[in-house]
Structure 1
Amino acid sequence: MANFSHLIFDLDGTLVDSKPGLLNALRFVLGEMGLDLPAEELIDSLIGPPVQQGMRNILGFNDRQVEISSRLFREYYGEKGMYEGHVYPGIQLLLEALLADGAKLYIATSKQAVFLPAILRHFELERYFDDTEGSEGAALQTKAELITNLMDRNRLEPSHRIAMIGDTKFDVVGGKANEITTIAVGYGFGLNGDLQELDPDYFAEEVDDLTEILLG
């Protein structure tokens, strides 16, 4: 491969359009808690950071509400939500081509690690990735920390030939913190203006643009 030897992908909004399941999980949470809030208007802001962080910072929940809402969210998502969505068109072809070129592929996501094996099997993505890193337990982990954990476990040193690919500011900030190339994608859940303000090394409006950047 011409430019990159190792590629770290975000999951939600980068590989998989998971919005339907996340939106339904949020609707379930709000309904169970008796809250009349506009789930459709809030969901994009909640995708990217750990769910506890979003419940606190976006919805203004106190500690007890964060505990309850996070449990309810995981309850719905673990049973139904994680299967509600689809792989973005063109992603599997891109992954096939990257493997054929000899790239090593990884996932770093704020999603709970316990969900990852079932999600990847359901969407037929598991065979593409050498390793994955997700959030563990109740501790809030930044995307930068998740990337660091993944790189340390795979003995990857900071290099411009390693890239973090994601759709939110957390992916760009996390990649920069680990001194690797950052590629922001505009087809996911992040705001394009916010992404571009962070000055990623590359910006891909669509999957075709991402393919051009990665494969040339």
Structure 2
Amino acid sequence: MKLVVFDFDGTLVDSRKLIVESNRIVFGEFGLSLPAQEDSFALVGLSLESVLARLAGPDAPIERMVAAYRRVMPQLRADRAFAEVPFDGAGELLRELFEHKGVRLGIATSHVSHTLAPALRQYGWHDYFCTVQTADNALSKPHPGMLLKALGEANVEAADAVMVGDTTFDIEMACAAGIRGIAVSWGYHRPDRLHTAGAIRVVDDMDELRDYLLASLQPAAS
């Protein structure tokens, strides 16, 4: 294995409070009924436009709502009460993989570039990734475009890469790109759904993920 591509929300960071509060603000701003939390969480991983089309309906002012989210999200991220929180061990795992000479790291997320970059800088993760794929430069998951671009930028074959994610959209994207999909059970979709989507393994904690990935790496160059 030469490339590990991570999802962001639900895999590396817990974004539940941010999602709930941003929905409350934006749906209220447009006078729309607030969607149930479980409905919102079930769609994490899709592009914001796709999520809103399902939650608010196709007749909702989707473009204006997207603009509202783009305005609201940085404000909420600046508030510790609502900002994403890295899952325990996520930073340590990324640092250990980054320091291993035999592997490169990537991200594939439904965030757009200008919202993801500040978060990566905040956590000190910005330099870890050789390829970062976001919803503004590739088609939305589960289309394989993000992963195909990541493979090209990292100069790695699909057989030598894995995708780590928490939703069926991540795993379906991996399968469509010919990449092995590793799922985590602490995110937004249940393990049974992840297995059905094609995950070759579902891990239950960051230590298990670390052990699996490290065991799959080619030896570091001396």
TM-score (normalizing by structure 1): 0.88
CA RMSD of aligned residues (A): 2.0
- Segments of 5+ residues of structure 1 without an aligned counterpart are none
Is 1:79 equivalent to 2:75 in the alignment? yes
Displacement of 1:203 after TM fit? 1.0
Displacement of 1:142 after TM fit? 3.0
Displacement of 1:78 after TM fit? 2.9
1:60-139 map, 5 Å: 60-62=57-59, 64-81=60-77, 84-102=83-101, 103-136=103-136
Distance in 2 (alpha carbons) for counterparts of 1:82 and 1:23:
16
Displacement of 1:40 after TM fit? 2.8
Structure 1 residues 174 and 14: alpha-carbon distance in aligned structure 2, compared to 1, 3 A threshold: same
TM-score (normalizing by structure 2): 0.86
Equivalent position SS for 1:156: coil
Distance in 1 (alpha carbons) for counterparts of 2:149 and 2:74:
24
Displacement of 1:38 after TM fit? 4.1
Displacement of 1:194 after TM fit? 1.3
Contact 2:4 2:163 in 1 (8 A): yes
Contact 1:22 1:81 in 2 (8 A): no
- Give the AA of the match of 1:127: D
Displacement of 1:115 after TM fit? 1.5
Per-residue Cα deviation, 1:66-98 (whole angstroms, up to 9, x for no partner)? 122211112111332477021110111211221
Structure 1 residues 73 and 155: alpha-carbon distance in aligned structure 2, compared to 1, 3 A threshold: same
Between 15-24 and 149-158, report the one with greater CA deviation: 149-158
Distance in 1 (alpha carbons) for counterparts of 2:93 and 2:70:
30
Contact 2:104 2:154 in 1 (8 A): no
Displacement of 1:206 after TM fit? 1.7
Distance in 2 (alpha carbons) for counterparts of 1:173 and 1:118:
28
Displacement of 1:140 after TM fit? 5.0
Among candidates 26, 31, 35, match of residue 34 of structure 1: 31
Among candidates 18, 21, 34, match of residue 18 of structure 2: 21
Is 1:44 equivalent to 2:49 in the alignment? no
- Give the AA of the match of 1:92: G
Is 1:183 equivalent to 2:182 in the alignment? yes
Displacement of 1:184 after TM fit? 0.8
Contact 2:131 2:153 in 1 (8 A): no
Distance in 2 (alpha carbons) for counterparts of 1:39 and 1:136:
27
Distance in 2 (alpha carbons) for counterparts of 1:40 and 1:170:
18
Distance in 2 (alpha carbons) for counterparts of 1:26 and 1:37:
7
Is 1:59 equivalent to 2:56 in the alignment? yes
1:123-162 map, 5 Å: 123-136=123-136, 140-143=139-142, 144-159=144-159, 161-162=160-161
Distance in 1 (alpha carbons) for counterparts of 2:198 and 2:171:
8
